[in-house]
Amino acid sequence: MLGATAPVAAGPNHWTLFGPPAGGLYPSMLVGRTLFATAGGLFRSTDDGGSWTYVGHSPEGMVVSALAEPGEQPGALIGLTRTGRLVHSMDSGASWTALGGPPAFVDRLALVPTAPTTLLASAIDILWGSTDLGAHWTQLVRAPSTIRAITIGPGKPAAVFLSLDRGLLRSDNGGHTWTVLAARLKGGGRLVDVDYLVGSDQTGTLYAEAVLDFGAGLVKSEDGGWSWAVVSERVFGPVLADPLNPSVLYTGGIYSDGQNGFWISRNGGNSWTKRPTTPPDFFGSDEIRTAFFSPHAHALYVGTRSHGIAESRDGGKSWTAGAQAGLFSGVWTALQFRPGAPQEVFLALDGLHDSLYSSTDSGLTWAPLGQPDPYWGISALGLDPADPKLIYAGSPVRGVWRSVDGGVTWEHSLDLLSRPLSFAFPEPGAVLVGMDYGVYRSADRGKTWTMVLAGNPDGSPFFFESHLVPDPAQPRTVYAWTDDGDSSLLQIWKSEDAGLTWRELPEHAGTLAIDPRQPATLYAVEAGSGQRGGAVVRTTDSGET
Amino acid sequence: MALVVDPVTSETLYAGTTEGVFRSKDGGTTWKPLAPWELSRRDRKSITLLVAHPAIPHRLYALAEDGGAFEIQLDD
């Protein structure tokens, strides 16, 4: 049984964390011989990543999203919460107290290693500095655009770099004065946008993922950021410079000829070789958030978005991910209340293991259920209202799984290379699943399936996404809103015969919601909206006009 | 984007957007930020799912793309 991550009683008008300590993986770090990772909470490993212990949360119940070790005090940690506040711990993360901070929500935190009581904190475009571990703060600089990252450069004394939305700044005196680094590239072109910056301690070389005025790729500087050269235009994602061999670089999420994966370069980034991973190609749907080297374990670690920490003990030749016991990681994808028993709630995440949790006390305590797919997490969840033991789970890449014993054991129900997004239960025994490429229906509790809505009849490509919205008053009526992938073609469909047949409604909109008190009233976001900000439209006659 | 209708008060909508969670009390005509979205700017940019509690009025849940699950109890 797992405790909740936060005070369970939601504060009035105040967002609090909900669920077990899982979800998300944030910067990990090595402090002495202890590894820390934040994944819905703070985790600690004292056996080189073999097993992990949940340590706790910062005050406010929010996870710590960045850590820094302030020098001589053993067990002391400075953290940045996801609320943008600074906290500190004197007992290796077991307990936390609020630390004074600048008068703004902090986005990024860094410690100057050569002056371990000096903190740097950024808030939008302002960099703040404290020389007394957060007791007092001074505004150091207002950058010309938003600060994306604070990087302590290689070498001693270390320069401080600010990666901006547009450009790069360098300071050689702890942040008191700054120089705008030239954006020109050797051989022509300009460095427009720096997404991250990493340095090699051995050579002093800086690497950055950058948007160029003629594309994007990996760039490097061998003179402290004053001039840059393109290393590869086929490399995207954070790069780790091997601390023992400066010509060796690692990265994940490269999009080279359509191939993702974990890659190694042995010549400073000029050419790359894909390395095997366990499970195979798991980096292909993931991204690396952080990377570090443990000299004690002689191991390389990378923290991923959805699959926890991957480890290599052979210099990056092979990688194993998600094998770390006790570390819960992933992205929450589904939250469902048991129909008719709302004190029972389920949470699912896209993670390698422990992807499904249930609580029977409205979220006070949580217990993990069985894992449907051994390699992938959960993209959607469906609780059959007629049978409390019958649960459906969508795999992000492998169709539908089914459990007939309340989530303890699972079997593959619909084996398709498609991602379920939502379920609906239009009549006893029948289930619908909205997937990436259409809507499927089963009339026998998920034993067999038939595609019932499959894109446009003229043969144009299938939907990219199809979401189901059941009518709470008339279960045989189900709506589906579909998206071609970039919101250029949004459609709403309606079935009044439990999902057997569908017809398109006139409104070209997406993100559909139904009024549970007046189910004839539907709301939808107009086409051409989403991130571009479309209007909400309403119908009061079940979508007919 | 996520959209949900308040189960107690028709005309009240909640929308999870790239800028946080918003509420409309007039059927979607006008919108205001629901509450200070106290996550950092990095986290609040993506709300993937909003769920209203089926039995407790004015209680809302949000899933954020970058990891967190959150709840809020609204005064009204």
Cα–Cα dist A512/A543, whole Å: 11
pLDDT at A334: 93
In B, what residues contact A, Cβ < 8 A? 1-5, 7-8, 10, 13, 15, 18, 24, 27-28, 35, 37-43, 48-49, 51, 53-56, 59, 61-75
**β pairing state of A319-321 and A277-278:** parallel
Reference A146, options A181, A179, A195; nearest CA is A195
Nearest by CB to residue B35, choosing from A15, A333, A516, is: A15
Interchain proximity A515–B71, CB inside 8 Å: no
Cα–Cα dist A240/A234, whole Å: 16
Quick one: A488 exposed, middle or buried, by C-beta within 10 A (0-12, 13-18, 19+)? exposed
Cβ A325 vs Cβ B37: under 8 Å: no
| Maximum average pLDDT range among A259-263, A296-300, A364-368, A423-427 | A423-427
The b/e string for A417-452 (b: 16+ C-beta within 10 A; e otherwise) is: ebbbbbbbbbeeebbbbbbbbbbbbbbebbeebeeb
Give the residue-averaged pLDDT of A390-402: 93
Is A540's pLDDT higher than 80? yes
Interchain proximity A106–B40, CB inside 8 Å: yes
Q: Who wins on pLDDT, A64 or A437?
A: A437
| Number of helices (H), then strands (E), in chain B | 1, 7
Percent of chain A exceeding pLDDT 70 equals 72
Give the residue-averaged pLDDT of A221-245: 77
Is B43's pLDDT higher than 50? no
Give the residue-averaged pLDDT of A431-449: 95
Q: Fill in the amino acid letter for A92.
A: S
Alpha-carbon gap: B16 to the closest alpha carbon of chain A (Å): 10
Give the residue-averaged pLDDT of A442-458: 85
Interchain proximity A82–B4, CB inside 8 Å: no
The overall average pLDDT reported for chain A is 79
Q: Fill in the amino acid letter for A467.
A: H
pLDDT at A63: 52
Give the residue-averaged pLDDT of B44-66: 83
Is B5's pLDDT higher than 70? yes
Q: Who wins on pLDDT, A217 or A372?
A: A372
Cα–Cα dist A300/A522, whole Å: 52
Residues of B in contact with A25 (CB under 8 A): 67
Edge-to-edge strand order for the sheet containing B20-24? B2-5, B13-17, B20-24, B32-33
Q: pLDDT band at residue A527, thresholds of 50, 70 and 90? A: low
Nearest by CB to residue A19, choosing from B13, B51, B69, is: B69
Alpha-carbon gap: A321 to the closest alpha carbon of chain B (Å): 18
Cis ω for the linkage preceding A157 (within 30 of 0): yes
Is A403's pLDDT higher than 80? yes
Cα–Cα dist B56/B76, whole Å: 12
Tell me the whole-structure pTM to 2 decimals.
0.73
Q: pLDDT band at residue A529, thresholds of 50, 70 and 90? A: very low
Nearest by CB to residue A82, choosing from B35, B62, B68, is: B68
Work out whether the CA dihedral B67, A126, A223, A218 comes out positive or negative: positive
Give the residue-averaged pLDDT of A431-447: 94
Alpha-carbon gap: B47 to the closest alpha carbon of chain A (Å): 10
pLDDT at A236: 64
Reference A481, options A444, A518, A523, A509; nearest CA is A509
Is A243's pLDDT higher than 90? no
C-alpha dihedral over B21, B26, B32, B35, to 10 degrees? -60
- Could you tell me which residues come within 8 angstroms of residue A335 by beta carbon, excluding any fewer than 6 positions away? A345, A346, A347, A348, B49, B51, B61, B63, B69
Residues of B in contact with A57 (CB under 8 A): none
Interface with A, mutate which of B45, B70, B72 (most A CBs under 10 A): B70
Q: Who wins on pLDDT, A251 or A60?
A: A251
Residues of A in contact with B18 (CB under 8 A): 531
Is A7's pLDDT higher than 50? no
Give the residue-averaged pLDDT of A385-400: 93
Alpha-carbon gap: A238 to the closest alpha carbon of chain B (Å): 17
pLDDT at A513: 93
Residues of A in contact with B44 (CB under 8 A): none
Interchain proximity B67–A11, CB inside 8 Å: no
Give the residue-averaged pLDDT of B19-38: 80
Question: A73-103 pLDDT, tens per residue?
Answer: 777 778 877 667 788 888 877 777 888 778 7
Reference B2, options B24, B17, B23; nearest CA is B17
**β pairing state of A478-483 and A465-470:** antiparallel
